[in-house]
Structure 1
Amino acid sequence: MSLCPARGCLHVLGSFVCHVDGCEVRLPEHPRRLVVRLAVGEHRMARRLAAACLWPDTDHAARRLRYVLWQLRRLTGEQIIQAGHDAVMLADGVHVDLDEAERLVHRPLSTDTDWSLLACPLLPESDDDEVRAARQRWDRLRLLALERLAHTKLAEGDISGAIDVAGHALGIDPLNEGPHRLLAEANLARHDMATARRVYDDYRADLDHNLGVEPSMEFRRLLRR
């Protein structure tokens, strides 16, 4: 995990970790859920909505939210969360690794790019609906970024790097053709026809079993060449 550049730091890629002034702070369940919602969303929520998200079936949600905010102030000062009369929000200057990663996917990627954040899923053990939606969006973004990076590495002759990146992309969505085609192309570039063919055949079998369709004509033409 990289050194956090800010006094307050939230890691949501992989496991959830909260740092304040360089020290890890373990949050109870409901304070953690509120912080996670803010970290993976717009970083600001109306108090009414925050209370309803945490306790959808109770008449005392607003009072419980006040207690959660008190817990957060006690544990983190105001380095992570700030609360106004109408809204709760991440404190100014809080570093969220997901924000850093999303900036990375929109930048040009070169062969020396540190792409370790792109290999990390978003809170994979969480079953929160908002986290699931954010995870699906993050997976789409990082899959496309990893494909671009693998193409770049392959074009510049870094075959092993292209294989490594394509392998991580493949793990995000095993039925997406792009990573499989890149993996086959990289193996063809090192004259390993057997492995390239095995990549194609395994993908074709999975695709037929799960969706009842064939790989694209472009993928088939790649193997014929």
Structure 2
Amino acid sequence: MTSSRGRLTKRLKVGRDAGCGPASTASEELDRMAARRNGRGHARPRPQSPQLGHSRRTSLVLLGDFTVCDGTGSPVRLPLAGQRLVALTALHGAPLPRHLAASRLWPHLPSVSARGSLRNAISGLQAACPGLIAADASTVRLADTVDVDIWQREAQALRVLQRDGGDPRAEEPFEGMPLLLPAWEEEWVAVERLRLQELLLYAHEAQAARLLRRGEFALAVAAVYEVLRVDPLRESAAQLLVSAHLAEGNRAQAARCYLEFRGRLHAALGIEPSGDLRKLVAGLLRTGSGQ
């Protein structure tokens, strides 16, 4: 079975500007992510999380509903255009040229009008939440004093995927698969939503595979079901699920899981499981009953 990190090396896409780019390994993506957070092009220290006592930091939540809390933990109401600008700069992760921000947020407007709308959005943010956005004559970015939940979630996922780096935090519980701004329909948000979801799927699979190797079958199965809940047709997850039941000696359950997955795959796409998955259950199923 191909490892989750191996599949990530082949398929994980980076490059937030265009929503596409060269494939990257987990360690390369972590380095790149750290560099993007620093406008000068080199990694700056990762911000401390608010629960560690740095209460003056602003927090930005992008997983689920958009939320900004000031240094006291109180929610801050932002105008709609300001919310879009804050989210765009957070997802970009580095100083964003003003003309690109304007064209991304107001693609239907002439460039002069779009830049004017950007200036108004920046002014509104500086009035509503001073210190949230840093802007100069040519760029706009998220301030260094802002903690962003998606950055922390990405870092956690990448630690799981690059476990051979020896970081003990890779053993931290990794649960849930929240969606990035699920109510937002902008294309630049949708691209990031899919990228993050794919990263989290790989991380859950990597965690499940690690638990399976350690013989922690119940936890492995739970991690696999997190993946299948999001993508019921993901064959790599189905393969892990069948493998976990076989390793525990639950052959009937392994066969049932295979047949259920095969049924979903055939109903949705009209195709059969791969040879690798079929080999796992070879000998368990009667001739003509689903192989």
How far residue 165 of structure 1 moved from its aligned partner, in angstroms, is 0.7
Q: Which residue number corresponds to residue 113 of structure 1?
A: 172
Give 1:143's match in structure 2, choosing from 191, 201, 204. 201
Q: Which residue number corresponds to residue 63 of structure 2?
A: 13
| Counterpart code for 2:237 | P
Q: Distance in 1 between matches of 2:95 and 2:229?
A: 32
With normalisation by structure 1, the TM-score equals: 0.88
Query: Does residue 1:192 correspond to 2:250, yes or no?
Result: yes
Query: Does residue 1:161 correspond to 2:219, yes or no?
Result: yes
| Counterpart code for 1:141 | L
Classify the secondary structure of the residue corresponding to 1:224.
Answer: coil
Q: Distance in 2 between matches of 1:54 and 1:63?
A: 12
Work out whether residues 4 and 95 of structure 1, in 8 Å CA contact, stay in contact via their aligned partners in 2. no
How far residue 210 of structure 1 moved from its aligned partner, in angstroms, is 2.5
How far residue 144 of structure 1 moved from its aligned partner, in angstroms, is 1.1
Q: Distance in 2 between matches of 1:140 and 1:112?
A: 20
Q: Which residue number corresponds to residue 32 of structure 2?
A: none
Q: Distance in 2 between matches of 1:161 and 1:72?
A: 44
Query: Does residue 1:211 correspond to 2:269, yes or no?
Result: yes
Classify the secondary structure of the residue corresponding to 1:23.
Answer: coil
Give 1:122's match in structure 2, choosing from 160, 171, 180. 180
Classify the secondary structure of the residue corresponding to 2:124.
Answer: helix
How far residue 3 of structure 1 moved from its aligned partner, in angstroms, is 4.7
Give 1:178's match in structure 2, choosing from 236, 251, 261. 236
Q: Which residue number corresponds to residue 65 of structure 1?
A: 118
Query: Does residue 1:104 correspond to 2:104, yes or no?
Result: no
Q: Report runs of 4+ in structure 1 exceeding 6 Å deviation.
A: none
Measured against aligned partners, the alpha-carbon deviations of 1:88-108 in whole angstroms (never above 9, x if no partner) come to 101113211211122222224
Work out whether residues 83 and 89 of structure 1, in 8 Å CA contact, stay in contact via their aligned partners in 2. yes
Q: Distance in 2 between matches of 1:196 and 1:45?
A: 50
Q: Which residue number corresponds to residue 127 of structure 2?
A: 74
Measured against aligned partners, the alpha-carbon deviations of 1:162-200 in whole angstroms (never above 9, x if no partner) come to 111111111232221011111222223333333322221
How far residue 58 of structure 1 moved from its aligned partner, in angstroms, is 2.6
Q: Which residue number corresponds to residue 46 of structure 2?
A: none
| Larger deviation, residues 87-96 vs 201-210 | 201-210
How far residue 4 of structure 1 moved from its aligned partner, in angstroms, is 5.6
| Unmatched tracts of structure 1, length 5 or more | none
With normalisation by structure 2, the TM-score equals: 0.70
Work out whether residues 10 and 17 of structure 1, in 8 Å CA contact, stay in contact via their aligned partners in 2. yes
Q: Distance in 2 between matches of 1:197 and 1:15?
A: 40
How far residue 112 of structure 1 moved from its aligned partner, in angstroms, is 4.3
Work out whether residues 208 and 223 of structure 2, in 8 Å CA contact, stay in contact via their aligned partners in 1. yes
| Larger deviation, residues 34-43 vs 152-161 | 34-43
Q: Distance in 1 between matches of 2:223 and 2:273?
A: 21
**Alignment size in residue pairs:** 222
Percent identical residues: 33
How far residue 215 of structure 1 moved from its aligned partner, in angstroms, is 0.9
Work out whether residues 177 and 226 of structure 2, in 8 Å CA contact, stay in contact via their aligned partners in 1. yes
| Counterpart code for 2:154 | E
Q: Distance in 2 between matches of 1:107 and 1:209?
A: 36
Classify the secondary structure of the residue corresponding to 2:273.
Answer: coil
Cα RMSD (Å): 2.2
| Unmatched tracts of structure 2, length 5 or more | 1-48, 284-291
Work out whether residues 133 and 141 of structure 2, in 8 Å CA contact, stay in contact via their aligned partners in 1. yes
